Amino acid sequence: MQQKPPPPGEPDPAAVHHTSTVEQGKFCTAHCTCGWRGPARRARSKARSDALEHASAC
Ligand SMILES: [Zn+2]
């Protein structure tokens, strides 16, 4: 059986970043499917912008 390398330009499903925000008491933290976690924020909008920044940086 032959193993082909993945074609360039095609996104690797394992490398896709799906971010979400998780509320922890008074704080809100951004989480990503890659295992990344953002800093605890008091504002959910801040946690969301952390998540967006992470997803675009990766
Ligand atoms: Zn990620």
Domain assignment present for 1: no
DSSP 33: T
**More confident call, 20 vs 13:** 20
Is residue 29 in a domain?
Answer: yes
User: What DSSP state is assigned to residue 30?
Assistant: E
54 C-alpha to ligand 1 centroid (Å): 6
pLDDT, residue 15, reads: 72
Which residue is listed with tokens 């979400």? 20
Residue 54: CB atoms within 10 A of its CB come to: 18
Q: Could you tell me the pLDDT band of residue 7, with boundaries at 50, 70 and 90?
A: low
Q: Is the pLDDT of residue 3 over 80?
A: no
Identify the domain containing residue 46 by its residue range.
Answer: 18-57
Whether residue 43 is contained in a domain is answered as: yes
Q: What is the pTM of this model?
A: 0.69
**Is residue 18 within 8 Å of 35, Cβ to Cβ?**
no
pLDDT score of 32: 95
Task: Give the closest residue to 36 by CA, choosing from 10, 16, 9, 6.
Answer: 16
Expressed in angstroms and rounded, the spacing between residue 1 Cα and the centre of ligand 1 is: 33
Q: How far is the CA of 4 from the centre of ligand 1 (A)?
A: 26
Which pLDDT score is estimated for 47? 98
pLDDT at residue 8, as a whole number: 63
